[in-house]
Structure 1
């Protein structure tokens, strides 16, 4: 899904418009989530039922969502004025010294692990990723499964957008820039096969932590942003090559 960063941007700016903020905390949260799910629905319908290649469908969503986010903001930063949202980013909102954003991340991770490892939905997901035709012959509705997965992706984008709103106190059309690169890198580093059929939530979380640590090291060493992106691209290629080598020896 190449559109995750753009969906985050669109969700964040749509949720921070003046009209939306009039509905307070609930309005911002629901708008962010609904916009994310709506974008996921469009992606899912195009891929699962429209027969569009995922790369093309999500690339089109990337361009469209970024353009719409820019149109909504007119290039300006939308400041959040809802105290209930801003308060979640303050130290007073910490639970036993843990920021609410970290708690949300932990909850989403646990739910994702349970869904993938303890439900029929999770087993069907792995089956479709490994061999879609075999899954179809086994009685799995492959198209519906793919649609659900894009809906989940959009839901997570909406949640991420809300967390960014809390963190920055604003909505910007530049939010989520290159998040698709970070997401792909974290998944691959965590052991998810690009060809499908293998991947774990735990591995993906470790991939996020490793990739974030690498990014922080780059920042601490004052590397230019363009050099950082080149290095990230090299890391992705290296991880894929390691995967292929490992797969060929097993």
Structure 2
């Protein structure tokens, strides 16, 4: 029983009845809903193509394919939570992958390819962050310009040709012999990025500041947060995730080409949205974004196994995105 001078969250003056309970349980309900959708897709896949979909090799493939776009989505989730947007992630992945697979870079072996991927991603993220945080450019415009520039530079580097990886230590990571307890190394890297991302968002000052900036940038500034520096860091983080994803893609494909990462920006943003991240900022979860990635990758896999055309697949993805946004609007009004 509350003491006379105590007040519960649901009985505070001006607080709608049940508001505290809604905020407390809504994230869990949303996550469980996403888990239910993923489970339903697994059932559909198991019914339509039981021998192929439920095979261990196919499940490993789904997780591996989720890894590349999943790492990108983690970075995009942070940016959107802080009220920003990054349309350049796919182009950055392409640029990092081709820069890391040039003949000159491959002469430095595994370390050269890895470091080049990370540095190119960080460099692009730095340019985005400086233009947005200190140059005053709207995130949409700045990242759209980076999208065009990075794609153009990637095409110039490759001259439209595919660059084959010849470093065996890189290629070996994509081979079955390198699996650890049946888990591909790329999936382990993805899991590590997700865990670190979750800890940073939920257990550090950086995460709390990101949410505060996305919720109300002016209030965050008045509270002593350096909003411009925080935004710079967020785009650096997004660029770093793109660099990691580029390296994973190089391992997965065994090559670098200027078409890598095509439409990754749309897939990453869509996964974050259906995972519960608000486009206006201030709210989002890493777990929800990961579930969004798994849902999209599973849909793609089911469509491929059933020989359904990609246009139908895109329509299905579009319907899911619209449904997710409508759910967001409904819960925001409650």
Match of 2:102 in 1: 17
Q: How does 1:51-62 map to 2 (within 5 A)?
A: 51-62=136-147
Q: Are 1:244 and 2:295 matched, yes or no?
A: no
Match of 1:137 in 2: 222
What is the aligned counterpart of 2:268 among 164, 183, 188? Answer: 183
Q: Are 1:159 and 2:244 matched, yes or no?
A: yes
Task: Please say which structure displays the higher CA radius of gyration.
Answer: 2
Match of 1:82 in 2: 167
Contact 2:299–2:313 (CA under 8 A) maintained in structure 1: no
What is the aligned counterpart of 1:171 among 250, 253, 256? Answer: 256
Q: Secondary structure at the match of 2:196?
A: helix
The Cα of 1:156 is off from its aligned counterpart by: 0.3
Match of 1:2 in 2: 87
TM-score, normalised to structure 1, is: 0.97
The Cα of 1:27 is off from its aligned counterpart by: 0.2
Match of 1:66 in 2: 151
Match of 1:234 in 2: 319
Output the CA distance in 2 between the equivalents of 1:226 and 1:19: 39
Match of 2:44 in 1: none
Count of paired positions: 249
- Structure 1 residue ranges, 4+ long, deviating more than 6 angstroms after superposition: none
Output the CA distance in 1 between the equivalents of 2:266 and 2:303: 16
- Give CA-to-partner distance per residue, 1:31-84, whole Å, 9 cap, x none: 000000000000001111111110111111111101110110011000000011
For the aligned residue pairs, the C-alpha RMSD in angstroms reads 1.1
What is the aligned counterpart of 2:203 among 118, 122, 125? Answer: 118
Contact 1:6–1:62 (CA under 8 A) maintained in structure 2: yes
Q: Name structure 2 gaps, 5 residues minimum.
A: 1-85
The Cα of 1:153 is off from its aligned counterpart by: 0.3
Output the CA distance in 1 between the equivalents of 2:198 and 2:117: 23
Output the CA distance in 1 between the equivalents of 2:116 and 2:314: 31
TM-score, normalised to structure 2, is: 0.73
With 225-234 and 39-48 compared, the bigger mean Cα shift is at 225-234
